[in-house]
Structure 1
């Protein structure tokens, strides 16, 4: 399985529009972050977790020729606003599979009604095939996926475990029963917004505490704000098995 980090930034991305913060002015490519998403590939299958407002740019940048489906963690705009840009894939492949909590599917239907409607449909609009995710394993082709339930402020959000790889973003609290699903991982991806406390995201100390508890072989931090600091400086202070993810990073499991 190959994982490509399409974006590793928080909702505003880095650089933030109009910001004079030193990280936003950095010339290091690793300090430039699109909105958070990953591309997961195995055999001939290709799935994306979340498609935010940078989705088109991410697909062009990775030269991605097709996707078999999109899995949504939750409904916030930085994770969903790029849904219209599935059109080129739809024109080539037909309807795309989308996987999400029922609440998220309902919200996407409200925002993108022209995509989800089945009657009197505009001929240039894409179509999708909906799959409701519950807090129980589901299948993507020949692979079983285990949802990890968490909260993002007061909003339910899903992370996902693919065999020995798990991807969690926009988490703030994770119950012990859900943490138990994350034992014995080769790679854990976890959000770490900044150094200081935040009401809806794990900060760096909180993320490191979870990593220490779960003891994956490797951990990568994502959904990063410019307030966390310069990529190279932050990574140099992390434990030996913990790394900052960056856009276009690829890992193979």
Structure 2
């Protein structure tokens, strides 16, 4: 399984517009972060987790032309704001694209991108199929892949993470229920959010909370994402992390075997 980090930044991205913070002024490309998303490829299938406002550029930058399914963690703009740009994939493949998410998320999608659901067949838009997920459901299948939805809390908002084989993706977490911790046992690769070191945040893990969750889950490797400029310079922070915990960066490619 090939995992490409399309973006590893927070809702504002890094650098932030107009910011004079040293990290925002960094010349290191690893300190430049688009909104968080990953692409998963295996057996000629391509799955996207989240579709933020940088999606078009992310696809051009990584030269991807195929999209077999989209999984949505939640409805915030940095996770669905690029949805309109899935149209070229439909035009190229001439194939309905399935979209998976909680009912609340899909209802939000219908309101914001109402024209995707128009009955006007002359409309220049994509054909998608929406599939409602229950965070308490054990698993579902996409093609022949078994996908586990993971119940996560983002402040007081219930959202989803996803496990595919021995890879799991969790972003925007502020807490992970014990039941979900149990679902994450035996992971080879975990992707987990970290906002900054301090101060504490009501709806996002700071570094100490991310490391505490990693200790409970005990994956072989963890890659941190959804990173703000306040965490620090990539090269400095990456050397301060525990063994087998790494900062992800835009364009990073990893493999789950």
TM-score normalized by the length of structure 2: 0.96
Counterpart pick for 1:231 among 231, 234, 238: 234
Matched position secondary structure for 1:60: helix
- Contact 1:40–1:48 at 8 Å: present in 2 too? yes
Residue matched to 1:6: 6
> C-alpha displacement at 1:127, in angstroms?
2.1
Matched position secondary structure for 2:39: strand
**Segment of structure 1 superposing worse, 128-137 or 48-57:** 128-137
CA distances 1:77-108 after superposition (whole Å, capped 9, x unpaired): 00000000011111122321111111111000
- Contact 1:3–1:39 at 8 Å: present in 2 too? yes
> C-alpha displacement at 1:154, in angstroms?
1.1
Residue matched to 1:140: 142
Change (3 A) 1:25 1:93: same
Task: Name the count of aligned residue pairs.
Answer: 252
> C-alpha displacement at 1:134, in angstroms?
1.3
2-side partners of 1:88 and 1:213: how far apart? 41
1-side partners of 2:23 and 2:105: how far apart? 33
> C-alpha displacement at 1:72, in angstroms?
0.2
Structure 1: runs of 5 or more not aligned: none
Change (3 A) 1:3 1:72: same
2-side partners of 1:184 and 1:22: how far apart? 39
Q: Please show how residues 53-202 of structure 1 align to structure 2 within 5 Å.
A: 53-94=53-94, 95-117=96-118, 119-121=119-121, 123-135=123-135, 136=137, 137-196=139-198, 197-202=200-205
> C-alpha displacement at 1:218, in angstroms?
0.4
Runs of 4+ deviating beyond 4 Å: none
Matched position secondary structure for 2:78: helix
1:208 aligns with 2:190: no
Residue matched to 2:248: 245
Matched position secondary structure for 1:160: strand
Q: Please show how residues 8-27 of structure 1 align to structure 2 within 5 Å.
A: 8-27=8-27
- Contact 1:152–1:170 at 8 Å: present in 2 too? yes
**Segment of structure 1 superposing worse, 123-132 or 101-110:** 123-132
Matched position secondary structure for 1:189: strand
CA distances 1:106-130 after superposition (whole Å, capped 9, x unpaired): 000000000122x235521222111
- Contact 2:116–2:126 at 8 Å: present in 1 too? yes
Structure 2: runs of 5 or more not aligned: none
